[in-house]
Chains A and B, each alone.
Chain A
Amino acid sequence: MIETQGITKAYDKTVVVDNVTLQIPAGGVTSIIGPNGAGKSTLLSMVSRLLPMDRGRARVAGLDVSATPSDALARRLSILRQDNHIGSRLTVRDLVAFGRYPYSKGRPTPEDMGHVRTALGYLNLGSLADRFLDELSGGQRQRAFVAMVLCQDTDYVLLDEPLNNLDMKHAVTMMQLLRRTADELGKTIVLVLHDINFASCYSDYIIAMKDGQVAFQGSPREIIRPEILRRVYDIDIAVHDMDGNRIAVYYSANGLVNGAAGGAAGGHAPREIIPAGNDRVH
């Protein structure tokens, strides 16, 4: 289980994550959704000790992330951020092999190399294994990083927008893969997602954030609803039931803040709960 207790992060006076207390159950796929600047990535970074928190504490599998030695945590928890810039010239296999560093400290055993092969196969990277990262497309590189994180073989896997740079086919494949990892290997997957429909179709649990706080949490059926999505995203979003999934349609949404779209009479939805001046950090 991942627990946070009142964690807070502020830059100068801008509070990015505001006193969040949260429990993410072990096992399954949990998605964190919300508009830009809601504090999703910051929350994930603090839980994974990439960013120190100003206040509060976070525990993963009972380990306090601020107090536990980093290398012990690296065998329980892995995190992948959005843009990963690498200075050195690496092949895909080199990168994925780094996932074994917490265990082998740079001296991979045959068993480690077995894990590397499995991870490469899992993400369909076998044919690209010896290509250099800078020769790959953005999506292929993204998959290589995910392979590294899976190769780390931790119980908890945190991914910040893993669908970045992926086309439809690879996005679906990635979500299916994560779903399978959770189901077959019993891992706990936590994702930050922008595409709420992927969140709806693949998650067990959804956490909706807004303005640095958890606005709503629950099963996809509880969260993917027009009245809740409107309060999270400030636009009218229609939700349809399709083949047992709830699909949100927002491409021609009315009621944008500042009336940017649908200026016709009656197009404006009443704005609730959002006090003025809250639209920050983009």
Chain B
Amino acid sequence: MSLEIASRIVAAPRTVVLSRPLKRMLILGVLVAIVVVLFMTLNARGNWGFVLRFRGVKIAAMALVAYAIAVSTVLFQTASNNRILSPSIMGFDALYVLIQTMLIFVLGAQRAVAIHPQVRFLAEVFIMVAFAGLLYRWLFGKSRRSLHLLILVGIIFGVLFRSATSMMQRMIDPNEFSVLQDLLFASFNSFDRQLLLLSALLIGGASLAAWRIAHTFDVLALGRETAINLGVDYQRTVSVILVVVTIMVAVSTALVGPVTFFGLLVANLAYLLIGTHKHRWILPCAVALALIFLIGGQLIVERIFAFNTSLSIIVEFFGGIMFIVLLIRGIAR
């Protein structure tokens, strides 16, 4: 009898053994909590009410951006069935900057600024979705294209968008240019607070759209033909994903400007860490990693480097290395 109880006690822990993804997610969750608490409290002097509100808004913006970049990159990679490309490598955020510049160029700074910022933002996002929708549907809608071609196209589009942007910036009136610069030089220290709520709403809407087709994500990752064989309405699903991705990229670019390799970094680390193909785990893992890097990175930049360096430089450095490693491994395979 007592033996039986003893064996039951010994056996009991085995039933609560956590699966690997769950364990990793718990650790990541704790890390997220730690960086958030540290960010909110470290070196806080003076009025707590002010400090918490001030830093809270900053954290909210970073959380939004982290979420948008992580989710958009993972979904983009799922839809395009590769792990080397990301929306920013394909020139999505350069396109957004181009659209902003074009707006000033065509309307003039006076009229562009006179438009309510939220209306302008919505218009920009809308134009971006339309453009990107056309462009990337053409690229990814048909049967699988070679990865090398896609990288090449992405780089060329990126350069094209950036050169068109800089050409227009040279042509416009210097006064208008300074207005534009104000719009473009966003960072976590100077993002537009007015846009925060609207951004949250947009991302919420996009997430809802993604949630409704969430059951197709794992299947889509098997590639176009297998997905169609298993009954996924491929064209429609990929179109929805591209719209969702575009909205998220537009929002994150509007809030903090382009960050090329960050999405790639968190998405690939998430695949590595979580070790399952299920998006139910990959997506939260990528978001948690993005939160840790963004908030933790900002913490280091603010408290250790005392604002002497920019977070995007650090992020781009590590993200760029990751990209090269992935490319080399891809070629080796």
Name A's B-contacting residues (CB within 8 A): 48-51, 69-75, 78-81, 84-90, 94-95, 98-99, 101-102, 105-107, 149, 152
What residue in chain B is nearest A145 (Cβ atoms)? Answer: B226
Instruction: Output the least CB separation between B78 and chain A (Å).
Output: 8
Alpha-carbon distance A236/B276, docked complex (angstroms): 52
Alpha-carbon distance A50/B81, docked complex (angstroms): 16
Alpha-carbon distance A84/B226, docked complex (angstroms): 8
List, in ascending order, chain B residues with CB within 8 A of A49's CB.
Answer: 228
List, in ascending order, chain A residues with CB within 8 A of B224's CB.
Answer: 50
What residue in chain B is nearest A75 (Cβ atoms)? Answer: B231
Given contacts A84-B223, A88-B271, A88-B277, contact A79 B215 (CB under 8 A): no
Of the listed residues A70, A72, A75, A86, the one surrounded by the most CB atoms of chain B closer than 10 A to its CB is A70
Interface string of B219-244 (1 = CB under 8 A from A): 10111111011111110000000000
Alpha-carbon distance A98/B215, docked complex (angstroms): 12
Q: Check if B225 sits within 8 Å of A81, measured CB to CB.
A: yes
List, in ascending order, chain B residues with CB within 8 A of A98's CB.
Answer: 218-219, 222, 226, 230
Given contacts A73-B231, A79-B229, A101-B231, contact A86 B219 (CB under 8 A): no
Name B's A-contacting residues (CB within 8 A): 77, 81-83, 143-144, 215, 218-219, 221-226, 228-234, 271, 275-277
What residue in chain A is nearest B214 (Cβ atoms)? Answer: A106
List, in ascending order, chain B residues with CB within 8 A of A152's CB.
Answer: 229-230
Given contacts A101-B230, A102-B230, contact A88 B221 (CB under 8 A): yes
What residue in chain A is nearest B237 (Cβ atoms)? Answer: A70
Q: Check if B271 sits within 8 Å of A70, measured CB to CB.
A: no
Given contacts A87-B83, A101-B219, contact A71 B233 (CB under 8 A): yes
List, in ascending order, chain A residues with CB within 8 A of B215's CB.
Answer: 105-107
List, in ascending order, chain A residues with CB within 8 A of B233's CB.
Answer: 69-71
List, in ascending order, chain B residues with CB within 8 A of A89's CB.
Answer: 271, 275-277
List, in ascending order, chain A residues with CB within 8 A of B77's CB.
Answer: 87
**Which of A48, A87, A107 contacts B221 (CB under 8 A)?**
A87
Q: Check if B231 sits within 8 Å of A50, measured CB to CB.
A: no
Alpha-carbon distance A98/B216, docked complex (angstroms): 11
Q: Check if A50 sits within 8 Å of B225, measured CB to CB.
A: yes
Instruction: Output the least CB separation between B140 and chain A (Å).
Output: 14
List, in ascending order, chain A residues with CB within 8 A of B144's CB.
Answer: 85
Listed by A's residue number, 10 A-B pairs whose Cβ atoms lie within 8 Å are A70-B231, A74-B229, A74-B231, A84-B222, A84-B226, A87-B221, A90-B277, A101-B231, A105-B215, A152-B229
What residue in chain A is nearest B280 (Cβ atoms)? Answer: A106
List, in ascending order, chain A residues with CB within 8 A of B230's CB.
Answer: 74, 98-99, 101-102, 152
Instruction: Output the least CB separation between A75 and chain B (Å).
Output: 7
A71-B233, A81-B225, A88-B277 given; name 8 further pairs at CB < 8 Å.
A70-B233, A71-B231, A78-B229, A86-B223, A86-B226, A87-B81, A90-B277, A94-B277
List, in ascending order, chain B residues with CB within 8 A of A51's CB.
Answer: 143
Instruction: Output the least CB separation between B220 and chain A (Å).
Output: 10
Alpha-carbon distance A74/B232, docked complex (angstroms): 9
Alpha-carbon distance A84/B77, docked complex (angstroms): 17
List, in ascending order, chain A residues with CB within 8 A of B231's CB.
Answer: 70-75, 101-102
Q: Check if A84 sits within 8 Å of B225, measured CB to CB.
A: yes
What residue in chain B is nearest A95 (Cβ atoms)? Answer: B222
Of the listed residues B82, B231, B233, B271, the one surrounded by the most CB atoms of chain A closer than 10 A to its CB is B231
